């Protein structure tokens, strides 16, 4: 389980995530954001606890996505299956998502909502994952965004599974950051 506490002048976020499942409890004060986080966790097979407050809706959604991305990035096993993909129909909407959790941050959209486009992009980049989301069809923005979140959840469920080998021609990749507190 990974825990994040992120505090800025705009938001305060406490978040816990587990790739192996667990309780899902979300409270951000934004009903649609809560709905999307619960949906992502359920379809992703994740345990997720989020408590968050913010001054503006944009700041809240963006900062929760940043914290979630960092926490999910910490949950990637060394022998992750690495890749996942899903196609989700929701009424008139049809959305596909593909993810690579191999440490190469990139996002390709778009979604019909700039806010949730930014949410998925912020999550993917902070997770250090490549995420492609394609809305194939749709008219209702809610359906398209929700289908996208479900597809991303299902793709993450596949990619985060622990396999029996490292899926990279490079082998296992590690990076270590050392900060010398004496230097400025």
pLDDT digits (tens, 9 = 90+) for 29-39: 999 999 999 99
Peptide bond into 110 cis (omega under 30): yes
Res 164: pLDDT: 76
> Which residues does the chain have with pLDDT short of 50?
none
**Strand, helix or coil at 61?**
helix
For the domain covering 2-159, report its CATH number: 3.30.230.40
Cα separation values, 164 from 38, 74, 169, Å: 29, 19, 15
Cα separation values, 115 from 122, 131, 175, Å: 10, 16, 32
Contact 84, 142 (CB under 8 A): no
Computed over every residue of the chain, the mean pLDDT equals 94
pLDDT tens per residue across span 81-109? 999 999 999 999 999 999 999 999 999 99
Domain extents in the chain: 2-159
Contact 148, 92 (CB under 8 A): no
Res 173: pLDDT: 57
H or E element that contains 159: helix 141-159
Nearest of 74, 94, 96, 69 to residue 84 by alpha carbon: 96
Res 4: pLDDT: 97
């Amino acid at each position: 389980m990974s825990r994040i506490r992120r505090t800025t002048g705009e938001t305060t976020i406490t978040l816990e995530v587990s790739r192996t499942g667990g309780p899902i409890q979300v409270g951000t004060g934004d009903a649609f954001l809560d709905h999307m986080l619960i949906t992502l966790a359920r379809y992703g097979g994740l345990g997720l606890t989020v408590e968050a407050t913010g001054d503006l809706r944009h700041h809240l959604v963006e900062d929760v996505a940043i914290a979630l991305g960092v926490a999910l990035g910490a949950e990637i096993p060394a022998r992750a299956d690495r890749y996942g993909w899903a196609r989700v129909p929701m009424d008139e909407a049809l959305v596909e998502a593909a993810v690579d959790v191999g440490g190469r941050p990139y996002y390709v959209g778009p979604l019909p909502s700039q806010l949730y486009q930014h949410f998925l992009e912020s999550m993917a980049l902070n997770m250090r994952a490549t995420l492609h989301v394609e809305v194939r069809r749709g008219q209702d923005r809610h359906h398209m965004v929700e289908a996208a979140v479900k597809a991303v959840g299902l793709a993450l469920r596949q990619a985060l599974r622990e396999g029996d080998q490292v899926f990279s021609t490079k082998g296992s990749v590690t990076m270590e950051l050392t900060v010398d507190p004496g230097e400025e």
